[in-house]
Amino acid sequence: MSRQIPIMTAPHEQIEQIQLEGIKQTAVRCYENIPFYRKSFDDAGFDPRSIESFDDLARAPFVTKQDLRDNAPYGMLAVPLSEVREVHMSSGTTGVATLGAYTSHDIEIWRECFGRGLVFANADENDVCQICYGYGLFTGGLGAHYGSMWSGATVIPISAGNTERQVRTLRDLGTTILECTPSYAMHIADTAIEMGLDPARDFHLRAGIHGAEPFSDAFRADLERKLDYKVLDIYGLTETMGPGVAVECMEQDGLHLAEDHFYAEIINPATGEVLPDGEWGELVITTTDREASPVVRYRTRDITRIIPGECPCGCTHRRIDRLHGRTDDMLIIRGVNVFPSQIEDVMKHFDEVSSWYQIELDTRGSLDVVTLKVETNPNFPLDSIGAVEGLQGKIQSALKTALSVGIKVKLVEPKSIPRSEGKAKRVIDLRKGIN
């Protein structure tokens, strides 16, 4: 790693001591300063001063996104508004946006947590970071900006949009690290190729830090091939800080949690039971030293697991696996639970199709119908009825075998699925008139 941060390689017993002390203080601060937590804890019969172990935390009630919405805008602040230096809001893609507030202390934590991703990418003052996340209320742009400056690198705050300009900037300013959503990175790569450029020859990229949406291993491999660099995943959400809660290292085998600032649990989403390391479930996060907007046992709705064992990179902080999906983007098809990531896992076995797809939900009669629209690669003969029907049949059969449910497949032309400068829109629900 280019920058030594002692806590990143500290014995895990030391990290656990920091976490437990932080949990104790956070729970008491929430109880004393936030009316919602006082009522929630009292209703559950939970005394925050009784916490002596991680097991004691499991007696505390959960907090949800709806709880944050119900207490918006400032009902969940643990400090006076006069101490807040910045506010951000979630994208609101699943409903009303939620607010996250930051003191100066919180911003410093955020800078370092995102900056650890740059440490994993071996960034230093000789690097140039091009930030194509949107700046503003969305945490992506400024989170990446703060972290990149913390690393010592030169920062290009270009934000999202004007993709041809992004490409020219990559080429002309010698960008070495690209920061944006993975789907927008792919759009940049495809645009560069359409402009007649060879990224391996014309760019200087060596790493990309891409988050805000899940992506498959096949998508990553395609992106790395096109841009000739290493893709690192980053995780975060406005409700707990923003990007930097967990970051992937060069091993690309899970995302290291910033455990000195966050405590993670994996629960059974149906029962709330805490699950052991290695089992898949819903990620629950407790902040340990956030001042303005602390959370105790926040249900993220993200499905992952704690990866057992130590990482060869030397970082001692536990790892979460790449997101398997969300409890609120789970599709229920004829009684079967299906995540978009499971569909991606099937698609990666077919070289004839690209990484671009959309899942369309509709209703025929009383039945829900699911259609997977997937772009073919440019050399696939879409004008051949036999080739199209044959490939559609193979993919449908593979989906049926893997998911135990029928999904209609429709092959579409390359570049026909809309690209986005932010998060890719993977599911179109026509049942509710959403398009």
pLDDT digits (tens, 9 = 90+) for 148-186: 999 999 999 999 889 999 999 999 999 999 999 888 999
Q: What is the mean pLDDT of residues 84-98?
A: 74
pLDDT band at residue 3 using 50, 70 and 90 as cut-offs: low
- For 265-295, letters b (16+ CB in 10 Å) and e give bbbebeebebbeeeeebbbbbbbbbbbbbbb
Residues of the chain with pLDDT > 90, as a percent, come to 74
pLDDT band at residue 334 using 50, 70 and 90 as cut-offs: low
Cα–Cα dist 58/303, whole Å: 19
Considering the chain, what is the average pLDDT of its residues?
91
pLDDT band at residue 30 using 50, 70 and 90 as cut-offs: very high
Helix or strand run (H / E) with residue 87: strand 86-89
pLDDT at 91: 56
Q: What is the DSSP letter of 215?
A: -
SS3 271: coil
Asked if 98 and 239 touch (Cβ cutoff 8 Å), the reply is yes
pLDDT at 144: 97
Tens of pLDDT along 34-51? 999 999 999 999 999 999
> Which residue, among 314, 360, 291, has the nearest Cα to 85 in the 3D structure?
291
Cα–Cα dist 282/117, whole Å: 23
pLDDT at 434: 39
Lowest-pLDDT choice from 44-53, 91-100, 308-317, 339-348: 91-100
Cα–Cα dist 206/120, whole Å: 12
- The class that CATH gives domain 331-432 is alpha beta
Distance of CA 97 to the CA centre of its chain: 17
pLDDT at 382: 94
* Residue intervals in the chain for CATH 3.30.300.30: 331-432
The beta-strand segments (E) located in 111-220 are 128-131, 154-156, 177-180, 207-211
pLDDT at 212: 85
Cβ neighbours of residue 78 under 8 Å, at least 6 residues apart?
29, 30, 33, 34, 291, 292, 293, 294
Cα-Cα-Cα-Cα dihedral sign, residues 406, 410, 414, 415:
negative
Distance of CA 409 to the CA centre of its chain: 27
Q: Name the phi and psi angles at 53, rounded to 5.
A: -150, 170
Superfamily of domain covering 1-328: ANL, N-terminal domain (3.40.50.12780)
* Residue intervals in the chain for CATH 3.40.50.12780: 1-328
